[in-house]
Structure 1
């Protein structure tokens, strides 16, 4: 089964969360080449790469800063990290490589240190349906339905998006592939 016993309740709450959106994107060779310096322990140039975006609709507007925004963001970083760890563990048991981007520093969570980063406002996320807006002083992300009330996390894996294990994962969360 997908969840480990100690996180079953946590995952159950997320599965019924209407503010959670998970999508998968197969990466073409040209897209994969943009990530070769990010994942030093996986050859993205010659092996499959699937991005799994995890979006949370937020209560607060993430284009501004306040204590409420900071608190909500910290809670979502914790939730995403738990979820990403569970999904990467699940994919690992199916013999796939998987890593996720730590939202607090933009670096692969499991991978070796790298100078490349992938913050949520990175233009490479446009390949995965995420719009970035340059406000001059900073960049923000914008979701089609939720506007700037959104938090983004991302997992990368060698599992093709059509693989039965990915489909099972999507079914667990009642979501379809893009």
Structure 2
């Protein structure tokens, strides 16, 4: 089955599997992100519509190749993010800034081509571009659904565990309504990290 014929409700949502990419938008060469590209699977469609209120439908309505896509990112933290302290908060701020730079770049490139894209603020869980949205997106639930990463409960929080990095991981997601080939080409612009 070709990618053009593939439907997002198929069992696997993965278009491009996770790979570590160099964040060419960052001044620090060590600010790598693990990225993948997915069709938005059925379990996330309802969540997506609650969070974004169908903001995407106003973009590219004449293009029959448009797909709802997710670009989950994970960053390896220098600290276990379950811990507490000023150094942990400083690390979270660093990781946040790396993702915001990356997410803004991806979204600007897609939007400049006439497609809808937005990224989630990992601190609030709210969209960064779509202003009339106030439903929170759960990054942990998204990573469980898209990548089958595991999570556990710690008090009132759900903690994501990366298969290689454990809980020293910072998840954040970009969403798009664009042709798969456009998204794949955009992802290919970021070189693999060593």
TM bracket (short chain): 0.7 to 0.9
Q: Does 1:35 align with 2:53?
A: no
Q: Whole-Å Cα distance in 1 between the matches of residues 42 and 153 of structure 2?
A: 27
- State TM-score, norm by structure 1: 0.79
Q: Does 1:21 align with 2:34?
A: yes
Match of 1:97 among 116, 120, 128: 116
Pairwise CA distance, 1:48: 2.5
Match of 1:80 among 86, 99, 116: 99
The 1:111/1:143 distance shift into structure 2, 3 A limit, reads: same
1:68-87 superposed Cα distances (whole Å, 9 cap, x missing partner):
11001011111211111111
Pairwise CA distance, 1:54: 1.5
Q: Whole-Å Cα distance in 2 between the matches of residues 30 and 128 of structure 1?
A: 9
Asked if the contact 2:72/2:174 (under 8 Å) is kept, the reply is yes
Asked if the contact 2:143/2:171 (under 8 Å) is kept, the reply is no
Asked if the contact 1:102/1:109 (under 8 Å) is kept, the reply is yes
**Structure 2 residue matching 1:34: 3-state secondary structure:** helix
Pairwise CA distance, 1:168: 2.1
Q: Whole-Å Cα distance in 1 between the matches of residues 85 and 117 of structure 2?
A: 34
Asked if the contact 1:142/1:150 (under 8 Å) is kept, the reply is yes
Q: Whole-Å Cα distance in 2 between the matches of residues 140 and 36 of structure 1?
A: 24
The 1:94/1:66 distance shift into structure 2, 3 A limit, reads: same
Q: How many residue pairs get matched?
A: 162
- State TM-score, norm by structure 2: 0.73
Q: Does 1:128 align with 2:146?
A: yes
Asked if the contact 2:118/2:127 (under 8 Å) is kept, the reply is yes
Q: Does 1:116 align with 2:135?
A: yes
Which shifted more, 54-63 or 108-117?
Answer: 108-117
Runs (5+) with no aligned partner, structure 1: 1-8
Give 2:89's aligned residue: 70
Higher relative strand content? 2
1:83-123 superposed Cα distances (whole Å, 9 cap, x missing partner):
111110001122210000011211011113334101433x2
Q: Relative contact order, CA 8 A, sep 6+: which one is greater? A: 1
